[in-house]
Structure 1
Amino acid sequence: IHDWDGLTDYEIKRSEMLHELGYAVFATDLFGKGVRPTEVVDKKQHTGALYKDREKMRSIMQAGMMKAKELGGNVDNAVAMGYCFGGAAVLELARSGAKVNGFASFHGGLSTPEGQDYKATQGKVLVMHGTADSMITMADFAGLADELEGAGVAHEMVTYGGAPHAFTVFGSDRYDEVADTQSWTLFTGFLEAHTK
């Protein structure tokens, strides 16, 4: 699942990297065809609309899984992953009770909306977070750890010292090569462990 820029070349590159490892990949577009916001105000508007309508967010992700299945993907043997906004969306999918083997969030939003919890979560949760992230704090990270532990959800949560928000985005001023490399290695191991 993409970040707040929409489904761009970044997600396509990551999908290609996974395909090269032998995985079937489907990138779900939560904003809609051709919607690629470039201004912060537009990014906030598109993500904000989905944050306000969690049922719509869930239904789009479920539709993405059904489309992946229609195209020949084995959604009964799947892991969902996302970046930034997409990481928050993946955690929403986890809370929805989706039958997915694992949920991986790279520098994603970690807060749980009021009235929601992880009691229905069926797969393991992997959270990769930058300790220097000024947008999603270590208090948010600790809060999620408490929630997952309290709900009895299998999880692994890792922080990368000095890594800011969006630390995996190639070519950006926030890119942290060490954190990116380590988190990608962790994620690919997670895929091996949670897919058949």
Structure 2
Amino acid sequence: MKMVWILALFGLVWGGVSQAGPVSYSVDGQAFEGFYLGSNKQAPLVLLVHDWDGLTDYEVKRAEMLAALGYSVFAVDLFGAGVRPTEMEERKRLTGALYQDRPRMRTLLMAALTEAGRLGGRLDNVVALGYCFGGAAVLELARSGADLKGVVSVHGGLATPPGQDYKQTKASLLIQHGSADQAVSLTEFATLIGELEAAGVTHEATSYSGAPHAFSVFGGANYRADADGKSWQRFTAFLGEVSKG
């Protein structure tokens, strides 16, 4: 993965990007390593949150795709520097710890936003994007009342924790879900829509026919090019709509 980051760094620097590459930062004494691509000081910022396997080549690739469209991107690390789990039990342990400690999840997300701002990202024009576990994380950020233009969950966890709601949400939401997802049910999808409607949150929710969980993960067993293409097209259009100005 380090080699991919190095290649991304050289390719994007020569392409005119002002900053690019791995970024070390700390939160409450713990070391983290994100990935930043900065096109210019005026570009809208995308805060990108990883799946349950941590910040990997997948998020770097998505960051590159967004940078090519003119956005600044900070790919967040929620697990810690060097922590990129490959075993399912370790993935469950790491995500479970954050699901059980929502204040910690929010602290890590807000710290990543602060770091993105230090690097030159526009904190007044941010869209948060998350995949799978990251999709659940960005919804947590939305419920916190963070000052965001948009929040996008792609095949993410959709259940609202007990005692939480969307009354403080400031962002517009885009929810992208596979109708054949066996990890997150259509009932949860419908329930979330109802919660957003009740809270008066501007939202758009789409289910992609036949798409399973993790339908956007390149090379994965569940990858569906048709659903991925449609979701990316709508996401980039939504990004342009909410980040104007």
Bin for the TM-score computed over the shorter chain: over 0.9
Q: Which residue of 2 aligns with 1:193?
A: 241
Identity level (%): 60
Q: Which residue of 1 aligns with 2:74?
A: 26
Q: Structure 1 or 2: larger helix share?
A: 1
Separation (CA, whole Å) in 1 of partners of 2:174 and 2:154 = 9
Separation (CA, whole Å) in 1 of partners of 2:77 and 2:221 = 25
1:39 pairs with 61, 64, 87, which one? 87
Q: Which residue of 2 aligns with 1:158?
A: 206
Structure 1 unaligned spans of 5+: none
Structure 2 unaligned spans of 5+: 1-48
- Alignment of structure 1 residues 117-156 onto 2, 5 Å: 117-156=165-204
Q: Which residue of 1 aligns with 2:31?
A: none
Give the ranges of 4+ consecutive aligned residues of structure 1 lying more than 4 Å apart after TM superposition.
none
The higher-RCO structure (CA 8 Å, 6+ apart) is 1
Q: By how many angstroms is 1:29 displaced?
A: 0.4
TM-score with structure 1 length normalisation?
A: 0.99
TM-score with structure 2 length normalisation?
A: 0.80
Q: What code does the residue aligned with 1:161 have?
A: S
- Alignment of structure 1 residues 1-150 onto 2, 5 Å: 1-150=49-198
Q: Structure 1 or 2: larger strand share?
A: 2
Deviations 1:2-59 (A, max 9, x none): 0000000000000000000000000110001110000000000000000000000000
Deviations 1:82-119 (A, max 9, x none): 00000000000000000000000000000000000000
Separation (CA, whole Å) in 1 of partners of 2:183 and 2:130 = 17
Q: What code does the residue aligned with 2:86 have?
A: T
Alpha-carbon RMSD: 0.4
Higher Cα radius of gyration: 2
Q: What code does the residue aligned with 1:90 have?
A: V
